[in-house]
Amino acid sequence: MGRSHAIAGRHAARPAEIWNLQDLLRDPAHDLDVLRQELEEQVRRFEGFRDRLAPEIPAETFLDALKLAEAITRTMSRLGAYAYLWFSENTKNQKARAFKAAVEEMQAGFANRMLFFDLWWQKLDDASAGRLLAGAGDYAYHLDSLRRFKDHALSEPEEKIINVKSVTGRRALVGLYDILTNGLTYTLTVNGKARTLTREDLLVYVRDPDARIREAAYRELYRVFARHADVIGEVYKTLVTDWKQEHLGLRKHRSPISVRNLMNDVPEEAVEALLSVCARNAGVFQGYFAIKARLCRIRKMSRYHIYAPFREARRRYSFAAASAKVLDAYRAFSPRLAELAGRVLEERHVDVAVRPGKLSGAYCYSVIPGLTPYVLLNFKGDVRDVATLAHELGHAVHGMLAAEHSIFTFHAMLPLAETASVFGERLLSDAWMAEERDKVVKQSLLIRQLDDAYATILRQAYFVRFEREAHRIIGAGGTMDDLCGTYLSELRQQFGRAVAVPDEFRWEWLSIPHLFASPFYCYAYSFGNLLVLALYALYRTHGESFVLRYLALLAAGGSRSPEALLKD
């Protein structure tokens, strides 16, 4: 207990310090050459299995191939993680960008040489596949997942072309979006003084007590995005067209979202039900915002003001204090969770400070089983930043608990990927409420929780609703005006009469990275938050007996289907 706090405090005393990437690579240029040679030798050995692949292949030989594939994947994952984390520190860093490009090109080349195995496995007859699956152990669900895509696989030459072109195509465009949007600057007048801000700095002011400041912050955010709308919009349209051409045109998926559903191993009916239920119950949050308008004395609630604070002091937390608060909340639920979360801080696997060019937002990167995950934050010290720390450390402990699985099965499937993160936030919120004695502060905390529930349930579902329409519009030759008009219409439907939505919010979708990098990802947030509400109710009912079952759920990682894991 004391050790975790002491180390968290030491780390936090230097908030500008970036994370320690030496647990991945010591010398990137040198290590890249060494690991490339190592991978070359391993991939050459793997290619030796090509002539041994047949329906009657011995189970031992099949497992040998899988173990070698896992070793190769671990090394490539380590290189890929270093490249992305270095790039995230400063998207303007030319050396980091060059290293990332070199790693991605190398990864595509090695992946192409190994493609034959997955394609053979997908085409193997069911009886032979069943025999091999019976002895596959922890690899079984990974192998099952590959076979889910057998009807959508292409020939080996076609798959190779797609892999190579994605480096300079889709992945390059997503990188361009990151470089452009994370390099934007904004000007806001505060206390009579014009300030030049990063996006992370600007977004602090959308929760400012002064309504004029909140409105000005949003206006400035979308003024800047509108100025770059032509370029960002073309990037998006190209990404959507690429998704359509590959997944619908070549692979013959039924719809753009069905690709993601198959990846997630979730029935399309379940996703449709999720999105429909969220839309049908939009009135719940509309009613909430009407109540909030009265509480915050806002004459007419507007999209500018949905995150307005409620009679709260502007509390600021050092990173040390935030870390201690999160670890205490985790420890009250499970000392094991606190121990694992503390290790992320102890090993300096957190990048804390806001910097120009740094990737916006926050994420957790679980690289390989057994290696402590990395967490990126843009920590400014407000209450939301403490909650974000709890969220990202939840992701980290999820990966750490699943470390006994292979690299193919330790990552949680997307529908469960947000479970530990949202549960961590819930633990923090309850701890805050339990220790607080001031009624007004408690009301403020509850309002923040409801604000977050809106942002992570209804808002995310409507992003996916917009994506479905956007893919249809672009496929039919629609324009930026069509996309922005559709987004604004969806937004106004989402808020109904309870919240006025000014016209400049038509540009909001341009600022949402998931729409560009991971189409249809966002329903995982809706799913995860609703699931956590159900799980947390079980915890409140069953107490300690629930804790062990919950930890077992996290420890399963992605070794079984989401449905099978939740049935347990």
Residue 546: exposure state from Cβ atoms within 10 A (0-12, 13-18, ≥19): middle
Highest mean pLDDT pick, 73-87, 311-325, 443-457:
73-87
User: Interhelix angle for 282-295 vs 439-453, to 10°?
Assistant: 150
pLDDT at 414: 82
pLDDT score of 423 more than 50: yes
The pLDDT tens digits for 289-348 are: 999 999 999 999 999 999 999 876 667 899 999 999 999 999 999 999 999 999 999 999
25 and 9 in contact (C-beta within 8 Å)?
no
pLDDT at position 14? 42
Query: How many angstroms separate the CA atoms of 93 and 181, rounded?
Result: 15
Domain count of the chain? 1
Mean pLDDT of 469-498: 97
pLDDT over 80 (residue 238): yes
pLDDT at 408 over 70: yes
Residue 4 has pLDDT above 50, yes or no: no
pLDDT at 30: 95
Report whether pLDDT(1) > 90: no
pLDDT band of 15, cuts 50, 70, 90: very low
Region 26-52 average pLDDT:
97
Does residue 99 belong to any structural domain of this protein?
yes
> Residue 134: inside a domain, yes or no?
yes
- d(CA 354, CA 200) in angstroms, rounded, equals 7
Write down the pLDDT at residue 17: 67
Type of residue found at 61: T
Give the containing element (helix H, strand E) for 376: strand 374-376
Question: How confident is the prediction for the chain on average, in pLDDT?
Answer: 94
pLDDT classification of 9: cutoffs 50, 70, 90: very low
User: What is the model's pLDDT at position 436?
Assistant: 84
The predicted structure's pLDDT at residue 16: 41
| Average pLDDT for 219-237 | 98
Give the pLDDT band (50/70/90) at residue 179. Answer: very high
Q: Is residue 281 in some structural domain?
A: no
Q: Is the pLDDT of residue 59 over 90?
A: yes
pLDDT surpasses 90 at 10? no
Min mean pLDDT across 88-102, 159-173, 428-442 is at 428-442
Q: What percent of the chain has pLDDT over 70?
A: 96
User: Is position 532 within any domain?
Assistant: no
For residue 201, what is the DSSP state? H
Between CA 78 and CA 88 the distance in angstroms is: 15
Residue 100's domain is classified under what CATH number? Answer: 1.20.140.70
Could you tell me if residue 253 is inside a domain?
A: no
Q: Residue 443 has what pLDDT?
A: 87
| Residues 276, 280, 284, 290, CA torsion sign | positive
Residue 442 pLDDT grade (very low, low, confident, very high; cuts 50, 70, 90)? confident
Residues in a beta bridge with 190? 193
Element (DSSP H or E) covering residue 190: strand 186-190
Q: Is residue 455 part of a domain?
A: no
Which structure tokens are listed for 159?
């798959």
Measure Cα distances from 344 to 188, 341, 393, 399, 435 in Å. 35, 5, 8, 12, 26
pLDDT-above-90 percentage for the chain: 92
**Residue 127, in any domain of the structure:** yes
- Lowest mean per-residue pLDDT among 78-92, 180-194, 439-453: 439-453
Residue 8 has pLDDT above 50, yes or no: no
Q: Is residue 328 one of the residues assigned to a domain? A: no
- Residue 6 predicted with pLDDT over 70: no
Range of the domain at 66: 20-161
